[in-house]
Structures are given as structure tokens and as C-alpha cells.
Structure 1
């Protein structure tokens, strides 16, 4: 019922939104002599804010047409190389002639970025992708909005997620690298453990976990405590709703993206309200650059997708209530998941000092689980002065975190014996992360 009411509210507000758009265009028109007046700017700003608050936020575009490599522009073309109804694997193909002009003549490591399936689209990692494109062949998981998947396609749960990660790693060929950002940490570690036990030739050469709840019992945050304090039946009763028509997935039971978004925003409501007040003031003052930055952020932040009932509830149960992976009790398709069987996959964990989603220690827990890994294949790093988002995006990510991840991947290209037959650039130099904590 809530989903249907949400949709009804959107359509009921349409006439007012259309009126606001007309007012915005009228008061911003250069043909309007009153547009530059104080009243005109105020009317323009308020109508623009109302239109943005009530409009539909669809899936954002990647907007990655090129990337700078060694000071030269290299054209980039996103293309789907594998897909199911639930996910598509996107390869950011760089133009080979541009790469040669930029001095890149050797094979570069293939990296799978496992984007979170937790409410936002994979485009939230745009900055992450742009950084990795400087030095790697980049692939990313783009999960489908559950409301757009017809019921005839069946279920998608936590174990299907693991299977998808395994298959996508196989699509990249022998010994790729995988980077799990936030939520994918537990299923990616599970997939790597299963592939390692099977001696799969496409098991990762390295795995990097960034702000991931590998063991959510450690340094619990507000999000962790909510999941732990509420009984499982509460989530099933209060967070799951039927998709209404006219969506393709009408009738499917989902955890709606707008419910997830409301939860996120309520955690920092004052901050979001102040951001919109500043935006209003910037519009009235004619500060277009600052207003544009506000729009860029919220165009991404307010774009959300639905999760299937089974995936959401199993994640709550497996990761945040019973902690099956760190307790050694996770069973996938009848097989016990054994991270201790991983012996030749590099492990890097990255955490933010001020992360209020995955507390310090939750990601580091992967080192305790991967007992079979020699110490030289492990690294841990805590980035000072960043929160959850800063672990994978922003200035500190670009200047401090990404160089450490890049150095780790390069070192694993040298240190994993099975990779020594692959061609490598002579400029690659193994490097440890300075300041990393064990």
C-alpha cells in the first residue's frame, strides 16, 4: 500500500510541478525585464527548488566520455559485455590508439568493481571508475532496479549475488582483481573463497574491500544497531511492499529505494535541510557554479532503486543479525564457505576514520578470516578524516586511497606466481602502503 501511495503522491503533485517549471522558465528568461530583480530571483529560486524536490530521479548517466592518462585524453566507451535480468557487466573500453599515444603499450590489470546493491545505482561510483581507468581495464556491476524485472524472471537473493560475482569474474579471464565497495564485501569474499577452494583459474589475483561490513559486530554504527535491535519479522512486516503498476515488476515484493533513501536522509536530516537552504540562497544570489555542484550531488544521491524482498531480508539475516560469514557458518548451495582456504589471493582492506556506516574493524575482519594467506599478501589501511563516502570518492580518495590500491594491485601482479606469464610494464614498481595498520 505504501508504494502505491508514494506513486499516487508523485502524480498528484504533477500539476504543481508543471506550474513550478513554467514559473522557473518565466523568471529566468532573458526576455523578462523583471528577471534580474530581487523578487524575480526569489520566485525563480523557489520554483526551481520545488520542481527539483518533486521530480522523478531516474538512473543517472555515467558521463565518462574520456579520461586523462599520462596527461593525455583517452576516449572511453561504456559497453555491456555480459548480462542477466538482474545485472549487466559494463566494460569501460578505452580507445587503444589513444592509450598508445599516452605511452600505454602493455597489458594492464583487469579490475571488477563490485558496486553495492543497497539502494543507489552503480553511477554513485563514477569517481571510483574514473580513478581506476587511469591504470586498469575497468569493469563494473550494474544491478537492475527490481521493480523493472517481471515476476516471471523468478527470485534474486544473497546467494544469487554470490553466483553473479563468480560468473562475472570468469568473464574477465584468468586472475582478475576485484574491488568491493561497501555492501558487496561479504558476498564477494564468499565468492572468492569458493573459487579458491575450487582452484578456479579465474579466481581473483587480489581483492580489495572498502568500507565493507565483513563483521558487523565490530564497532557497531547506528545502521548496525538498527538491524540488530529489530526482530527479523519487523523488517519483513514494515520494509517490504508490492510494486504497483505500470512497472514491469508489478506485484513483485521489494524493499523500495525511496524507503532506503528516507532512512539515509533521516540520519543527517539537518545537513540535508541546510544544503537545500544554501542552494536556495545561491540561486537568489546568482551563484550558478555552487548551485550546479549541489544539483550534481543530489541528482546522484536521490536516484535510487528497489531491492528484491529475498535479497534484502537475507542480507539483514546473514550479514547484520546472525553474522554467518565471520562465524564460519555461511553455507552456499550446500557448501560451507571457508575463507581460510584462500591461499593465493592478495587482500587489501580500506576503512575511513569517520565512517558512520561501516565502523572501523568491520572491514579489517577479513584478515582474521583469511588465515591461509601469507602476511606478504595482506595490507590494511585506515584513511584519516573521511567518512563512508570519502572511502571511495572525493579528493582524499583520488590523492591518498587510490594510489595505495593501485600500488597493491601492481604488487600482486608481480607476487602472485600464476600471473608471471602475463606481459607487464617495466615502469611498475612494487610498493607498500605507508602508514597502513596491521
Structure 2
């Protein structure tokens, strides 16, 4: 297998993770993201397991400590050690906390957690068993998936819906443009952005989009984060979110077996979700479905390729052809672009509207390995490792020249580089 040309990459990745560790969890970035983020912590644990399996367990346990009574895992768990206005929207905006007093946001992020938990367990099974890791977190993960499959099946077709662009993890993706256009933005003078204090405005979502994000979150908050009575203007079935839920249901089946429990429920859920996901496939790619609009969204994004990680995916051959083609240029550009290279909204530097991200590249790599596409997987792995080292673990990169964008010393970039360095 191809190895990284960076001889000290492992030590550099470990330094990033140690530097961003705050005693019980890892912040994505000391400057831009100073709290604990949901899917970040899952990806971080996947890398931390190679540095310290116990610390990876603590990372996930800490996140699950902010789980709500209804089963949801909020997308941010706020650190009381950080100034309340250091990040917007902060705890004063969300007005949400757990019974234990942990202040959180009210929305969610993609469910990578069960996969991360299973991989963490496998890193040191004896330590995991000694600490009762799987036995303690399994009921929490089941409650999380139950929330998603019941409270968030807003379309009644068996797929989970997101109700805010931030829930996809791919905030300003062109896939959300039409749905966002229906939202009257919060006035710009009603809030103060903090993200642009630490990153270029040319890299970040526009003020108009941000105003819409704020309004959607405020509406959900003002309805008590109640999925049954909030009048969602934005509600879409996202292929990546559902593909990650399928993968995590398979991981829950493995966890159940390890605990001596029946995995059948999880395997059945994964099978049902895989079947339902097929309705989002059109012209070689999975597309989001707008539940308040006119069906499938035209925009082709990285979200539509993430189902490559789903076992026994009927559309895998066509999806691989799309990934290799001119729209995503897999193997010919850096990593995997977040949006169709030929699309009208492509911007090579702006967040999820074109740049390539390390976490989605890691997921595509995993899908390629599972599909036996080892040569292409090796090329993607080598590119990811080279870029992680040369950009000081950037948040994301320009797909054409590989230049760093967003934050640097970014935790999931370091964690996933560490994971791929440990591949054999």
C-alpha cells in the first residue's frame, strides 16, 4: 500500500489531537470551533483509537453525556470554560440544556457515532470490555437511532429528514439553495457572526445564507424543538445522512452481537433504509429530496456519493462511474470535491460549494475499499495523507491546487490521517 511521504506525519497528527484535547473531549479547532461538535467527535474518536483507545472511548462517552431525553444527540455540546459569546449561535441563542445541566444546541448532525464506537472497541477489545464501554453506550446509540427513524421520518417513506442545513454537516451546499430561498432571513443586525473573525469571508457562507440559518434555528427553538409541531420550511431527505445511518445500523448489529444480543433488529433497519434510499437515485447519483418542494434536488454534491459506504448497495457500479467521471474527477483532482465540478454554482474556495474535505474523502476511501477498488482507494489515501501534512491539517482544500482553506490544525483532519496511516 502507498505510504505518506511525510516522515513525521504521525507525530504531527498526534500533536494536533493532543493540543485540541480539553480534558474530556476534543475541539475541532481552538479558534473557529471551541466547543464539542457531534460528528466531529465521531471522526476524532476514529483517529484517537490509534493514539489512545481509552481516550477515544471517553470522547464518545462525553458526547453522549449531552444526549437529550428524546434520544437526539445535539450537534454542539457547549463548554462552560469558553466565553458565552465566543461562538455564534452560542448557548444563549439555543436556550437548550440536558437534565444534567449540559448546555447544547437543539439540532443534530449525521449519525457516524455507532461506527466510531465499534471501531474504537475493536482497537482494544480487552480495555473496552474491562470498562464496559459497549454495554454502557449501546442503549444510548439505540435511543439515538430510534429518535431518527421515528421523530425524523417527516416524509413517511422510511428515510430521515434534516430540518436545517447545519444538520447535514455540509452547511452551504448548493443542494440546499432552493429550499433556503423560501426562508425569510433574520435581520443582519439581529446577530453577530463569529466565524468570520477566524476565516476569510470568501471561504465562509454568505451573510444572506447565515441569516436564513439563524431564522430556521430560531423557529425550531421557539417551538420547543418539537418535531411534531414545528412548521419546518426546510425539510429534506439527505442521502449522506441516511447512508451514514445505514452504516451505523450495521455497526450496531456488530455491537449487539459482541454483547450477546440479537442483531436482527439492526440488520432489518439497515435493509429497510437501503431499500428506501434507492428512491433518491437518479442519473448516476443520489440526490436530496425536498419534502416542501418538488421532489429530488438537481444539484449534484458529495452527499450523493457517500452511499458508496453502504454494504450491498444496488447502485454502486453506476455511482462509481459518476465519481470517476468529469463531475467529480475522482483520482484526477485533490480528494473529492464537495460539489459537481461542472455545476453552475461551483466555487472552488467557498466551504461546501466546491472545496474538498478530508472527512468525506475518508468516507469515500472506506467505500472504495469495501467495493474492492483498491488501486483507486490507495491513490485517494496517498493524496489525503500528503495534503494533511502539507497544509498543516487544514479543514478543507481547493480541489484543483490543494491549497488550504478554512481552519488549520483541524482535529478530524489529523484524526483521519492518523487512521489512514494505521491502515495495513
TM-score by length of 1: 0.31
> Between Structure 1 and Structure 2, whose CA radius of gyration is higher?
1
**When you count strand as a share of all residues, which structure comes out higher?**
1
TM-score by length of 2: 0.32
